[in-house]
Chain A
């Protein structure tokens, strides 16, 4: 892996930048309804800056809705949520420049090259010296040699690496990972692990995962959602793995929200 400079290739922020002191994510009684169905039901939790939260839960538990609300893509029906100190509704535009999303969907244009995709999103985020930053990130995710190739020709693993570069372009403070390991081969998983490890110290993470082992291995905090409600929320140090797995298994039988 390349890239580690005064402005780190992956983080895009100065290594001497002081750490912020507010909670990175503050969620209070967050509720999101779709018709009569409550996708999120009075969800509350705090996440300190620099933490890594793994969110578990069966399909339909409300995990993706939680990420959509925290990334401003969906407005909450009730309650409040602040990310990096910004309210997800009132300060949505400011907040968007401080967060990044890596999803199982690459969120990239298949008919643009890797470089064109990153340059486009650099313009969207108003990244200064975009050309240099794009090149820096392409080197960091080991795609510099494919920078002129159309994204539709990329493998799943390459797409995910480019997706990471896209999410890191503007130096976000909080990164949301929506099942980022989904569909990756073992080599791509290793590369993704390595990339997350490199940026871990400079970011707060919220990751949705179905993989208990992977999620617990990475996290500093864990949360289980079921039927839109928080079933368990605790720092990793307070979690007994067997008990946690039993709780998780019990939620799978609870059905959707």
Chain B
């Protein structure tokens, strides 16, 4: 009986994830809007820093700029992922089916993670071109993707929960931002620290990187467990 229920849960998880990916590949709404938004943000950073002079090294704030762009970009995408469900009452149809609510949460969160990672893969080269001159990247190459993955897991998990909370509210964009930014604050600090260590390198950078990674892993675990526990209540509210 338990294995049957687990089998159905896996089937439902795959179905929701596949459906979201197929719909996104068809409409390209999320990836296009998120990708363009991220690129525009980076261009604006570049313009803002254009008069900073030669003494200023943009590498010192590169990690912060990168995560700022991804936080704003993900808020845009997170809202859209639930609006799709809301259209035509599809969220109601999903909730009518005998699916455990955490299955909906995990499938939506993994979908959002996939889309965010795709946007990151597309925008990181542009970021490197604008802010990291040739030979200026001092860390180990594998540090950046690892830091991006750990930060993105937290953004997708917490963001999916908050987007579900805000989707039924009037000013959903505003509500999501107001809830999202304060909750993500510890994760952002850790993500910026780990990414900075990767970009700047130097003495103690490996330790700084792993400290940041440890904090992100802790945040991800706590927030994912909390989201798992709260999702049933939130979708039923």
Given A109-B19, A111-B26, A126-B8: A121 in contact with B92 (beta carbons within 8 A): no
**CB <8 Å contact, B88 and A112:** no
Is A105 part of the binding interface, using a Cβ–Cβ cutoff of 8 Å?
Answer: yes
Residue pairs across A and B with CB atoms within 8 Å: the count is: 71
Judging by beta carbons under 8 Å apart, are B97 and A125 in contact?
Answer: yes
Q: A123-B15, A125-B97 are in contact. Are A106 and B27 (CB under 8 A)?
A: no
Is B93 an interface residue when CB atoms closer than 8 A count as contact?
yes
Cα(A108)–Cα(B14), bound, Å: 18
Flag B90-116 by CB within 8 Å of A: 1 or 0 each. 101111111110000000000000000
Tell which of B15, B90, B99 touches A107, judged by Cβ atoms closer than 8 Å. B90
Interface string of B6-30 (1 = CB under 8 A from A): 0010011011000100110011000
Q: Is B125 an interface residue (CB 8 A)?
A: no
Q: Does A168 contact B (CB under 8 A)?
A: no
A97-B98 in contact given A108-B88, A120-B15 (Cβ < 8 Å):
yes
Q: Does B171 reach chain A (CB closer than 8 Å)?
A: no
Question: When chains A and B are docked, how far (Å) is the Cα of A211 from the Cα of B90?
Answer: 26
Residue of B8, B14, B88 near A106 (CB, 8 A) is B88
B99: A residues at CB distance < 8 A:
124
A146 at the interface (CB under 8 A from B): no
Residues 60-101 of B, flagged 1 when their CB comes within 8 A of A and 0 if not, give 000000000000000000000000100111101111111110
Closest chain A residue to B103, Cβ basis: A124
> Are A96 and B236 touching (Cβ within 8 A)?
no
Taking the complex as formed, is A31 at the interface, i.e. its CB lies under 8 A from any CB of chain B? no
Say yes or no for A29: interface residue by CB 8 A criterion: no
How many of chain B's residues touch chain A, expressed as a range? 20 to 34
Shortest CB distance B94–A (Å): 7
A25 close to B (CB within 8 Å): no
Chain A stretch 95-113: residues in CB contact (< 8 A) with chain B: 96-97, 99, 101, 103, 105-112
Measured CA separation A12–B93 after assembly (Å): 19
Does A71 count as interface, using CB distance less than 8 angstroms?
A: yes
Q: How large is the interface on A (under 10, 10 to 19, 20 to 34, 35 or more residues)?
A: 20 to 34
- Complex Cα spacing A243 to B142, Å: 79
A73 within 8 A of B: yes
Give every chain A residue within 8 A of B22 (Cβ-Cβ): 112, 116
CB distance from B81 to the nearest CB of A (A): 13
Q: How distant is B186 from chain A, measured CB to nearest CB, in Å? A: 33
Taking a contact as CB atoms under 8 Å apart, the answer to whether A108 and B90 are in contact is yes
Residues of A within 8 A of B23 (CB): 109, 111-112
User: Which of B93, B99, B236 has the largest count of A CB atoms less than 10 A from its CB?
Assistant: B93
Query: Which residue of A94, A96, A105, A108 is within 8 Å of B97 (Cβ)?
Result: A96
CA distance A110 to B29 in the complex (A): 14
A31-73 interface code vs B (CB 8 A; 1 in, 0 out) = 0000000000000000000000000000000000000000111
Chain B nearest CB: distance from A143 CB in Å?
A: 17
The residues of B that contact A125 with a CB separation of less than 8 Å are 97-98
List of A residues within 8 angstroms of B8 by Cβ: 126
Whether A106 lies near B96 (C-beta < 8 A) is no
Contacting pair A109 B88 (CB below 8 A): yes
9 A–B contacts from the bound complex (CB under 8 Å): A75-B236, A97-B97, A101-B96, A107-B92, A110-B87, A123-B11, A124-B15, A124-B97, A125-B98
New A-B contacts (13) at CB < 8 Å, excluding given A72-B95, A99-B96, A103-B89: A73-B92, A101-B92, A107-B89, A108-B88, A109-B84, A110-B88, A111-B23, A112-B23, A116-B19, A123-B15, A124-B15, A125-B98, A126-B8
| Ranked 8 nearest A-B pairs via Cβ | A123-B15, A107-B93, A124-B97, A105-B89, A96-B98, A97-B98, A126-B8, A111-B23
